[in-house]
């Protein structure tokens, strides 16, 4: 493999200066042009063909089938965020027309979203396409009208370089400033810090570990001018298993959950690392089935040595924790391979030992056994902020558990009913985010076209002559955007 040296720190200023210059042009292009760019990127990525799959497979060990799916998702994201961008609905346009006869006269006010400025993106290792170089953060920042600098993930540098070349070809074909998108290498903390703290940087997107995300957040807030950081960090995605449902389908529940725990060798941000269930015969049945399923899983390779080593040491450590019993132990494997682990503890022990609330990144889950149904509420009250929480129950017992559902709503960004948390739909109604420590800002999503909102802010034009207004706000509504005019939604012109 080629070597990708870190960018020298003294070159970062030039990168951000070029990004600012590109931004000053790019932020003025129309919504349709931005959508054209996103489609052009999608098509350039498709053009790379199997070469991209092969390189990504070599760099990440992800199976080809998974990579093909992820590539399709990446292309869909670019296309769907481009379409959302062009429709303009995300701009949340509001127009309040003048009342010249009021005393004092009320001025005409029109509000829309404008881009923040250059955005620095730190991609994820576990999604080398969909949440890396040409992934969701880049797509939504470009849709917002921002320029982008990606710091390549060191675990897939060549995959990242190929995406970069495609994006820059698309910029060129669209006649846009090529430095609207730039790409740097930097495995060191210093590069990250310099990027986040450069005066031109206006926002940061990150997907990765708690320590990494929190560090970026702190650097950003220590700037003379603080900037927002959208860091998606750890999440254990608890699943609550209600007893009636458990009684009805202990085996099939075990199958669903085993499938979710081992999906992608447990390397998804929505991987279920915690299961809460109520003591009883059905639980025993469920446990035996889950145990059998996880024991039979063939060893599979993780993304890179760092992740594998971390999984091995964490899972070993967990087996040694007081009050934790091991149902399935992860077994040391050659190369990057690992096997799943299933541990069990009591609710009391879980409450006492906060280390049991932490994420083990990989195919491991902890079953917390609760003595009674009402203890599930106690459990829920003790969990930290999560991307997702899930509940399995019959209609009747879900209705009876409104107290549990109320607590879970305060703990997560997405609440699933009778579904495992893995599988994140790319639709506007998706909230992929959640209370700290799942993310640094639960008010925004990293998946779905609302992700664009992370990189914009509102501006009002007061008493602006119509010909000087951006097209989005002109009375004639040339872009045919849905706008709220004097309190009523309309895609018509201002009368």
Look up residue 471 and give its two tokens.
């097209």
- Nearer Cβ to a copy of itself (77/416): 416
CA distances in angstroms from 232 to 187, 217, 434, 472, listed in the order given = 19, 11, 9, 32
Look up residue 105 and give its two tokens.
């006269």
Catalytic residue among 232, 344, 359, 472: 232
Look up residue 470 and give its two tokens.
């951006």
- Nearer Cβ to a copy of itself (284/459): 459
Instruction: Assess whether 232 carries a catalytic annotation.
Output: yes
Place of tokens 């012109």: 493
User: Cβ of residue 231: shortest distance to a copy of itself, in angstroms?
Assistant: 11
- Nearer Cβ to a copy of itself (225/495): 225
- Nearer Cβ to a copy of itself (125/140): 140
User: Cβ of residue 68: shortest distance to a copy of itself, in angstroms?
Assistant: 15
C-alpha 493, offset from chain centre: 37
- Nearer Cβ to a copy of itself (134/274): 274
Q: Residue 56: which of 70, 43, 46 has the closest Cα?
A: 70
CA distances in angstroms from 178 to 79, 220, 485, listed in the order given = 20, 26, 37
User: Cβ of residue 223: shortest distance to a copy of itself, in angstroms?
Assistant: 9
User: Cβ of residue 127: shortest distance to a copy of itself, in angstroms?
Assistant: 18
User: Cβ of residue 440: shortest distance to a copy of itself, in angstroms?
Assistant: 7
Catalytic residue among 85, 174, 269, 370: 269
User: Cβ of residue 295: shortest distance to a copy of itself, in angstroms?
Assistant: 26
Q: Residue 174: which of 78, 8, 38 has the closest Cα?
A: 38
User: Cβ of residue 27: shortest distance to a copy of itself, in angstroms?
Assistant: 8
- Nearer Cβ to a copy of itself (114/337): 114
The number of CA neighbours under 13 Å toward the Cβ of 371 is 4
- Nearer Cβ to a copy of itself (77/440): 440
- Nearer Cβ to a copy of itself (230/311): 230
User: Cβ of residue 83: shortest distance to a copy of itself, in angstroms?
Assistant: 9
Residues with a catalytic annotation lie at 232, 269
């Amino acid at each position: 493999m080629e070597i990708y040296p870190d960018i020298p720190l003294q070159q970062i200023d030039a990168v951000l200066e070029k990004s600012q210059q590109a931004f000053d042009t790019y932020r003025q292009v129309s919504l349709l042009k931005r959508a054209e760019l996103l489609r052009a990127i999608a098509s350039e990525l498709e053009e790379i063909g199997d070469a991209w799959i092969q390189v990504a497979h070599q760099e990440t060990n992800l199976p080809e089938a998974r990579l093909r799916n992820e590539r399709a998702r990446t292309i869909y994201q670019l296309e769907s965020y481009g379409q959302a961008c062009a429709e303009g609905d995300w701009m949340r346009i509001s127009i309040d027309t003048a009342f010249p006869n009021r005393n004092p006269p009320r001025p005409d006010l029109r509000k829309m979203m404008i881009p923040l400025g250059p955005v620095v993106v730190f991609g994820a290792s576990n999604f080398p396409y969909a949440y890396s170089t040409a992934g969701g953060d880049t797509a939504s920042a470009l849709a917002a009208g921002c320029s982008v600098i990606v710091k390549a993930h060191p675990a897939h540098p060549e995959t990242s370089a190929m995406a970069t070349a495609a994006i820059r070809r698309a910029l060129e074909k669209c006649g846009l400033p090529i430095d609207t998108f730039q790409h740097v290498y930097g495995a060191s903390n210093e590069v990250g810090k310099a990027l986040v703290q450069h005066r031109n940087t206006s926002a940061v997107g990150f997907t990765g570990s708690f320590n990494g995300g929190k560090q970026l957040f702190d650097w950003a807030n220590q700037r003379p001018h603080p900037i927002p950081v959208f860091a998606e960090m750890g999440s254990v995605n608890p699943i609550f298993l209600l007893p009636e449902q458990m009684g009805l389908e202990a085996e099939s529940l075990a199958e669903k959950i085993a499938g979710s725990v081992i999906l992608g060798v447990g390397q998804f941000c929505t991987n279920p690392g915690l299961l809460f269930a109520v003591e009883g015969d059905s639980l025993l049945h469920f446990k035996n089935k889950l145990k059998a399923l996880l024991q039979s899983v063939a060893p599979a390779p993780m993304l890179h040595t760092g992740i594998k080593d971390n999984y091995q040491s964490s899972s070993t450590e967990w087996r040694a924790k007081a009050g934790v019993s091991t149902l399935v132990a992860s077994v040391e494997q050659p190369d990057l391979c690992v096997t799943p682990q299933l541990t069990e503890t009591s609710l009391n022990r879980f409450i006492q030992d906060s280390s049991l609330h932490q994420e083990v990144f990989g195919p491991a889950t902890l079953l917390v056994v609760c003595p009674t149904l009402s203890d599930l509420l106690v459990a829920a009250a003790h969990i930290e902020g999560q991307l997702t929480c899930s509940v399995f129950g019959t209609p009747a017992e879900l209705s009876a558990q409104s107290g549990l559902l109320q607590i879970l709503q305060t703990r997560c960004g997405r609440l699933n009913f009778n579904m495992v948390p893995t599988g994140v739909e790319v639709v506007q109604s998706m909230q992929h985010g959640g209370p700290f420590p799942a993310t640094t800002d639960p008010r925004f999503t990293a998946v779905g076209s609302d992700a664009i909102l992370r990189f914009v802010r509102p501006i009002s034009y007061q008493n602006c002559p119509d010909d000087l207004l951006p097209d989005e706000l002109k009375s004639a509504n040339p872009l045919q955007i849905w706008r709220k005019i004097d309190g009523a939604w309309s895609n018509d012109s201002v009368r």
